[in-house]
Amino acid sequence: EAEVAQSPRYKITEKSQAVAFWCDPISGHATLYWYRQILGQGPELLVQFQDESVVDDSQLPKDRFSAERLKGVDSTLKIQPAELGDSAMYLCASRDLGIQYFGAGTRLSVL
């Protein structure tokens, strides 16, 4: 069964360092999402892509976060510099026929 792939699964970094997360959606899914989930809360949308174009990045802290999906397939989310408050689970999802399919996520710890 096709899955959304994310790497790494875990990342520990020190504040002010740069981190990057990678996502490969299910083949053929044009819509891709990046979410941030703080423990005990629901996921919060950071950015939504339709193919290679950003559809919604209104919640993305653009002073430190960037996201790209250059060829409309896989995507990278970057944080530079990381802050203590960025510690969270970062989830990637792709959508087909209205259903969102999630990857296993990257758990980021900023020390």
Partner 1 sequence: KQEVTQIPAALSVPEGENLVLNCSFTDSAIYNLQWFRQDPGKGLTSLLLIQSSQREQTSGRLNASLDKSSGRSTLYIAASQPGDSATYLCAVREAGGFKTIFGAGTRLFVKA
- Residues of this chain that bind partner 1 (CB under 8 A): 4, 6, 33, 40-45, 48, 55-56, 89, 91, 93, 98-105, 107
Q: Please, what is the minimum distance in Å from the beta carbon of residue 4 to partner 1? A: 8
Q: Tokens representing 68?
A: 């790209």
Residue 21 or 105: which CB sits closer to partner 1? 105
> Which residue number, 20 or 104, has a Cβ lying nearer to partner 1?
104
Longest dimension (CA), the chain: 40
The answer to whether the beta carbons of residues 52 and 64 sit under 8 Å apart is no
Minimal distance, residue 106 CB to partner 1, in Å: 10
Cβ–Cβ < 8 Å for 59, 42: no
Which of the 8 DSSP states describes residue 39? T
Looking at the Cβ atoms of 48 and 75, the one nearer to partner 1 is 48
- The distance of closest approach from Cβ of residue 10 to partner 1 in the complex, given in angstroms and rounded to an integer, is 10
Please say which residue, 18 or 38, places its beta carbon nearer to partner 1.
Answer: 38
β-pairing, 10-13 vs 44-50, is unpaired
Tokens of 65: 């976060």
